[in-house]
Structure 1
């Protein structure tokens, strides 16, 4: 058979066409996927797709993004069996408020409970709630008093109920009974792989839990959840990983207790006056330590700062690693107790444990705990069962060898400039007297610990107001002041102070200079009458020249 070049050309053309159609189908399918994800806008008082977050949720599709404009939204939001939905503010948490007071009514399609969370996420996957201030979910909308609920655990800003792969991020939560509540129970699905991060959580001394992980054992799954970089305070249990929670990571959080905590629901029913509580717990972990596949898991508590609690960190389970935390100014720093489960495999290392009133570490379990390589507030080690003058250590704690210096250091620096010049020594830049002179103060946290209550003063100008009073490690702020240049050599000294979580202070100073001069100095001052005469002569000469 003879095949002509035209047959080859025809086959080549058909092959090219098939490839073109195949690529077109791939691109079309990709575009269909992209088109299916929509951005839905919400604004309570302006042009938008909806004025309510709940309406936007009800009319969204999986994969959509709901963007909420600044404003105050008095509503409670419910979603069930939703996937890949992002709900976020456009201008951040301080500008976007959820007024979550209880009305006795539930959103459409919700379980119909008279008590309702601000965000109720039920049996969902990959939901993001980002950038909101959620206020007053514990209050009655009609009376502005504590809501007399029979289901107080539902008075929570965010409830992830049998939901996985969700993010609760960059929110401010205030005035609640439970803060962020992860729950797997009643035969629903697991609550795994969620991220709770960078939230500011304040229970206002009324809250029982700040962040709570709960699984009643009816489902397999409260696993691999991450609680990181949150600020949690004024709750009885500030962070609690309980019951069947396993493989939880609790890291980088700043946790503080309060001496004035109360509980209006001590038996899950409203009680007035409330029950008075002690300072509560910073971080507590418990549970049976078993993953859903039957393997033995653990918990990681790393790099947190825990202060002003009854017990800073409490372990009631096994395989808990406690490392690189700062635990100070508590009644007891770290506690080990086997009243629920055995506590073998606990490892406590490289922590800064100091200024705790009773014990740095107290172990009331029957087994020893490995607590080597910790700093006890003194280079001669712990007191109590130890040889030194640092925090006390109880029996059944293996504390040697111990660290003879702090794990993390606190430090602060300031660089002051005058008109952009780092003039540490005189004479500094020349500045015309009476003109503006600008001082810049660059303050940096050069240590490993967050610093609070940053105060900046100047020896000549007094207290300098700065935009921020808290600095994370490595973070800087620049403060600026403008004044009027004075004559002669000028010198002023800046002093900056920061307070550590353990209430010690760090400070630094920097000096700056300028020389104020008079540009007209040395030029004779003319007599006014003589000046007028000279001007007159000049005018006459000019007129004669014009006449010629």
Structure 2
């Protein structure tokens, strides 16, 4: 070990050839660290079980997880990284950029910190009465578990897959927010149990036995997710649990399973108030969910509505009803809706400008009605150019122009997608 080569507040670690470092083990660097220090680990293979009792430190790899592995010591049944195991209340610990494999993975005990840009296999992540942030990680084989009162977490932009149990397990009053994660090929994608609380937004959940499982007095707010191809059911809410579930895309053989609600808390809700969109399938209004089946017989696939909301409610059971289920509109219907928007600009836009906009949209509808999609797209492109000219001349304001252009572009995309 050579002391004095690191800059202030930074210790380096290297156990192989390459740069001379301050330490040859991560544990020795942790033991020497103080508040605010960074431990920079050079690429290589490190066989360690690291106990962290120093708060406010960052442990990060220089070259990333593909070439920097930390594995548990053979024959030792322990975590690769333990935060707060020796002394609880170890806060603000960041672990960034490692391939963490084997053992019991990474464990927080009544502590806090961040996990970023790691690949974690065969050991998983566990947080007990802790607050952690988990961003841009890949978790394989064993999932993530949050348990007990005072546990809270944010999971964002992670990939969680091939776990024999739940990919993400929230239990015993833990509170977790999940945003933009991809969760697939697990026994359950997300499992909530025993007074758990989960806010689940913008995730893709597929190929699990159960997509989302909310049971035993738990609550989930589930919005803007894509949930498909789950073998048993897309979402299950049972055992005195409830959820607020809206603006999700479901496409599973069975999309939802519920039971008799607790009269003290009432049934789950399956739609929000109808408001301007766009919604999960690109329609003009937020409301309920899109209900599809792989064989094309789903409620949203077989029922229509003029505004992207089905004309009839979707009855899951006698207590659970989506009053505003979503449906797809045709390009003609979408163009008609855009005309309604134009006509609703009374007093804001000159009649002559609205007239030209309507004529151009009528031309689009004419071409679509005749099946000439290529010419319809050209007419929409001409419409977009005209809107830009009207904005530059001050005849449309920026908000109006942006909406007209975005809707025209969306209709073009619909036409192109319809052609396969």
Q: TM-score, normalised by structure 1?
A: 0.49
Quote the residue 1:368 is aligned against: 267
Asked if structure 1 preserves the Cα contact closer than 8 Å seen for 2:80 and 2:100, the reply is: yes
Q: Does 1:250 align with 2:178?
A: yes
Residue 285 (1) aligns with residue 192 (2): yes
1:371 deviates by 1.2
| Residue 299 of structure 1: how far off its partner (Å) | 2.5
Aligned counterpart for 1:343 among listed residues 232, 236, 241: 241
**1:197 touches 1:228 (CA, 8 Å); kept in 2?**
yes
- Relative to total residues, which structure has the larger strand share, 1 or 2? 1
1:300 matched to 2:199? The reply is yes
Q: Residues 232 and 254 of structure 1 are in contact (CA less than 8 Å); yes or no, is this contact kept in structure 2? A: yes
Q: Is this contact kept in 2: 1:282–1:311, CA < 8 A?
A: yes
Per-residue CA deviation, residues 239-291 of structure 1 (Å, 9 max, x unaligned), is 11111202x20111101125xxxxxxxxxxxxxxxxxxxxx1101123336xx
Pairwise CA RMSD: 2.9
What is the total number of aligned residue pairs between the two structures? 288
CA distance in 1, matches of 2:301, 2:233: 14
Match of 1:197 among 135, 160, 164: 135
Aligned ranges 1:37-116 → 2 under 5 Å: 38-45=9-16, 46=18, 47-80=20-53, 82-104=54-76, 115-116=77-78
Query: Contact (CA 8 Å) 1:37, 1:65: kept in 2 or not?
Result: no
Is the contact made by 1:159 and 1:181 (CA closer than 8 Å) also made in structure 2?
yes
Aligned to 1:255, the other structure's residue is in SS state strand
User: Is the Cα contact below 8 Å between 2:315 and 2:322 reproduced in 1?
Assistant: no
User: Are the aligned partners of 2:300 and 2:327 in contact in 1 as well (CA < 8 Å)?
Assistant: yes
Aligned with residue 167 of structure 1, among 114, 117, 121: 114
Where does structure 1 lack aligned partners over 5 or more consecutive residues? 1-34, 105-114, 138-154, 185-190, 259-279, 290-297, 407-505, 510-548
Structure possessing the higher radius of gyration over alpha carbons: 1
Cα displacement (A) at 1:399: 1.4
Q: CA deviation at 1:318?
A: 4.5
- For 1:393-438, what per-residue CA distance to the aligned partner results, in whole angstroms no more than 9, with x for missing partners? 45532112100139xxxxxxxxxxxxxxxxxxxxxxxxxxxxxxxx
3-state SS in 1 of match to 2:66: helix
| 1:508 Cα deviation after fit | 11
Q: TM-score, normalised by structure 2?
A: 0.63
Determine the C-alpha separation between the residues in 1 that align with 2:291 and 2:185.
21
In 1, the alpha carbon distance for the partners of 2:418 and 2:290 equals: 23
Q: Is the 8 A contact 2:182 2:205 kept in 1?
A: yes
* Aligned mate of 1:183, from 97, 107, 128: 128
SS of structure 1 residue aligned to 2:199: strand
- 2:105 maps to what in 1? 157
Tell me the CA shift for residue 162 of structure 1. Answer: 0.9
* Pairing 1:127–2:93 present: yes
TM-superposed CA distance for 1:230, in Å, is 0.7
- Tell whether the 8 Å contact from 1:169 to 1:198 is kept in structure 2 after alignment: yes
Q: Distance in 1 between matches of 2:419 and 2:81?
A: 46
Tell me which of 228, 232, 241 is aligned to 1:328.
228
The offset of 1:381, in angstroms, is: 2.5
Mapped contact 1:37–1:63 kept (Cα < 8 A):
no
Quote the residue 1:315 is aligned against.
Answer: 214
Q: Following the alignment from structure 1 to structure 2, what is the Cα–Cα distance between the partners of residues 242 and 382?
A: 35
- Deviations 1:135-193 (Å, cap 9, x if unpaired)? 2x1xxxxxxxxxxxxxxxxx3211011112x00110001223xx110013xxxxxx12x
Deviations 1:267-322 (A, max 9, x none): xxxxxxxxxxxxx1101123336xxxxxxxx4311111111112101112444210
**Are residues 134 and 100 of structure 1, via their aligned partners in 2, closer, same or farther at CA, if it must alter by over 3 Å?**
same
Deviations 1:213-244 (A, max 9, x none): 012xxxx5113x11111100111110111112
**Distance (Å, rounded) in 2 between the aligned partners of 1:230 and 1:181:** 15
Alpha carbons 2:315, 2:321 under 8 Å: kept: no
- The answer for unaligned runs of 5 or more in structure 2 is 1-5, 272-287, 303-309, 330-416
* Residue aligning to 1:212: 145
1:402 match: secondary structure: coil
Which among 380, 385, 404 is matched to residue 327 of structure 2? 404
Q: CA deviation at 1:323?
A: 0.3
